[in-house]
Amino acid sequence: MKIKRLTKSSLQNILNGKITEEATCVIKFYSNRCHFCHKLKDRYEEVSEAFPDVHFFAFNIGDYPQIQKKLEFRGVPTISLVNAGPTKPAVKLMPEPKKPDKTTWYTIENIKNFVEKEKK
């Protein structure tokens, strides 16, 4: 499945419950300067193929630096899952891996387990 890049306004719509239908959204927060983020791209796309009923997005924190403080995460890559809809959703942040991958930080298994556990 193709990963869609979110704009700041689209991200805010998801986080503020301005989506008219319920949807499970996985969002990878990244930075253009992050080598982990670039290397994670292919693995993130592979995970998206395993969940055809889930929407996968990517958001560049350079477009809205305050998002780190708002969602209370430090650094990238960070992956979140939002069960979005017409009410303000809860944002679930993927925990840091116990043994980070040396090139991508997260593994395919880390991401799949997180999505499986947190999706509706």
**pLDDT tens digit sequence for 15-41:** 999 999 999 999 999 999 999 999 999
pTM for this model (two decimals):
0.96
**pLDDT tens digits along 55-113:** 999 999 999 999 999 999 999 999 999 999 988 898 999 999 999 999 999 999 999 99
Return the half-sphere exposure (C-beta side, CA atoms, 13 A cut-off) of residue 82: 28
Give yes or no for a contact between 84 and 120, defined as CB atoms under 8 angstroms apart: no
Domains of the chain, by residue range, sit at 4-118
- Which homologous superfamily does the CATH classification assign to the domain defined by 4-118? Glutaredoxin (3.40.30.10)
For the chain, percent helix, then strand, then coil, each to nearest 5?
Answer: 35, 25, 40
The confidence score (pLDDT) of residue 90 equals 87
